[in-house]
Amino acid sequence: MKMQLAEIARAVDAENDVSQWAEVEISSVEFDTRKLEPGALFVPLEGTRDGHDFVQNAVQKGAAATLWQTGHADLPTNIPVVVVADPLKAFQKLARYYLLKVNPKVVAITGSNGKTTTKDMTAAILKTQFNVHKTQENFNNEIGVPMTILGMETNTEVLVVEMGMDRPGQLDFLSKLVQPDVAVITMIGEAHIEFFGTRAKIADAKMEITHGLKEDGELVYNGDEPLLNERVTDLKQQQRTFGSLQTNTLYPTQIESGKTATNFKVNLWPDTEFSIPMMGAYNVNNALAAMLVAKHFHVKQSDMQSALAHFALTENRTEWYHGKNDADILSDVYNANPTAMREVLRTFSQMPTDGKRIAVLGDMLELGDESKPLHESIARVLDPEKIQIVYLYGTEMKALADKLANLYAPENVRYYPEGQQGVMIESLLKTIQPGDLVVLKASHGMHLENVLAALQ
């Protein structure tokens, strides 16, 4: 971006006269002084620390100007200042202004699982024909979405923006901020059920992504999900669906999943084989969603095929490593909810191996009152014939350990309370043999990345 401070002041309804700095050039916007580059507008947000305390750090890093909250003490005199009632709201207002100025088509993506992968697939396909900007890292909330918008180049033709959610009203705000041309809902799972209570309420909240959907826009959603089918009946915008059922607009007719790639065919292009560079039939649904978005933008099937085969993930959360005991380790330690864990374990159960399959599972967080039954539900996809040994770590995993007592021999279910990760690692190092396959899956707060480091 490139704007003069006078234009920014108008966009955010500045409460002070900035005429003395009117022609100051702003080349970026930043709220984190560690990432700030010269020429940036600094936004002092309220977090664990007051962002105003870091303005002098921003000055030293080369900030060209700063927002400042009305009435906040110690107004700086060594940097141009734009005084606003609320720096966060001003930041969001500036993002909306810049979005309208650049005027790209907008694709907004949400879902309990798969939104980052779908975002990356969608951006990769659309880049074959358009200048595309997409959400970086996990910038998918009230701060991250404005940052994504303000990070666009002025020649951006399509903005692909990921939207997260942990409470009602959040997607309503974000959808109205970006006003998407296409909205995507990948699926309804149990993520954040602690805050919502039921999957039905999660579905209600996910549908908020349509609140800002343009009148001539389109909703792309998982048609296998009854909760979504029930909620789209009053939606006037066009709808397309994906999923495994043949009632969907787009569905797979054949899937072959390997260790590092998955090949599939679909109903709309029956003679074409598509491939994605990742394991898991569950990732095909993400590809189908991206393909329907591409269809909205009239992208050729051959471009979809080549883009999907080579797309790069923002963060490959499901990644293979070679272990020190000459075993292969599938690491998925950044995030976990019951749906995702069951899907990963189903795929892992089918991976060919000359040795044992060993699952190392940690607590899934933010499940609230449903935590016990949802942890127990993982037993449905654990078969001692396919996954021979199960390691369980954390307070909540005790429920699964108890559930597996009737399914596995006692020596093949090994439970470790939180705080005993080191003991578990010692046991793993003694148990894992050449040719074994190991999967690590837990919420990031359980820090199974330490287990991965010890096994590599």
Detail the residues annotated as belonging to a binding site for ATP.
111-117
Distances in whole angstroms, Cα of residue 448 to Cα of each of 404, 418, 422, 439:
21, 11, 11, 11
Annotated binding-site residues read: 111-117
DSSP annotation of 46: B
Q: Residue 438's closest CA among 178, 427, 138?
A: 427
Q: Can you state the angle between helices 282-296 and 115-126, rounded to 10 degrees?
A: 40
Burial class of residue 173 (count of CB atoms within 10 Å of its CB; 0-12, 13-18, 19+): middle
How does strand 319-322 pair with strand 274-276?
unpaired
- Please tell me the distance from the alpha carbon of residue 31 to that of residue 151, in angstroms, as a whole number: 13
Strands of 262-266's sheet in order across: 252-257, 262-266, 274-276
**Spatial separation of the C-alpha atoms in residues 267 and 301, rounded to whole Å:** 12
Can you say whether residue 419 is alpha, beta or left, with left for phi > 0 and alpha for psi between -120 and 50 degrees?
left
What spatial distance separates the first Cα and last Cα of the chain, rounded to whole Å?
42
DSSP class of residue 77 equals: S
